Amino acid sequence: MTLTFNRESYAALLAKYQPKVITTETENERAIADAQELEHRPNRTHEEDALLELIVTLIEKFESEQYPIPESTPLSILLHLMEANHLKQEDLVNVIGSRGVISEIINGKRGISKAQAKALAEFFRVDVGLFID
């Protein structure tokens, strides 16, 4: 059995939902509602699947432009892990060195060495690659 794509049915769906490039939060919320409606529809047709994929693509484009995720750096990861574990700079003295070294790393004046990255990875039980540029 070959499944076919019905252009007339898809055109009717396009006319009903009228998808377009999303430029406002209101349009984004409407697109999300449309996507949820289609996603929860039992026995979706191929045309509905195609429309759902289109709407999700438009939502992803809008959200990636409006809410970009900044690139993580070894320092941002360290700061996040310190905050998540309620740690202060002095809590890392025995892990990566003196207070002065820790202060320089935290203030971005010094990078994290490979040895320090390994020690931090062991301490936080994470992959060492998180602390290496």
Three-state DSSP class for 88? coil
In the structure encoding, which two tokens stand for residue 45, read together?
A: 């047709």
- Structure pTM? 0.59
CATH architecture of the domain 74-131 equals Orthogonal Bundle (1.10)
Considering the chain, what percentage of its residues have pLDDT values greater than 90?
A: 90
DSSP secondary structure of 51-78: HHHHHHHHHHHHHHHHSPPPPP-HHHHH
Alpha-helical segments (H) within 7-128:
7-17, 25-39, 46-66, 74-84, 93-96, 99-106, 114-124
Res 2: pLDDT? 55
CB 99 within 8 Å of CB 93: yes
Q: What residue segments make up the domains of the chain, in order of their start?
A: 7-66, 74-131
The pLDDT tens digits for 29-83 are 999 999 999 999 999 999 999 999 999 999 999 999 999 888 899 999 999 999 9
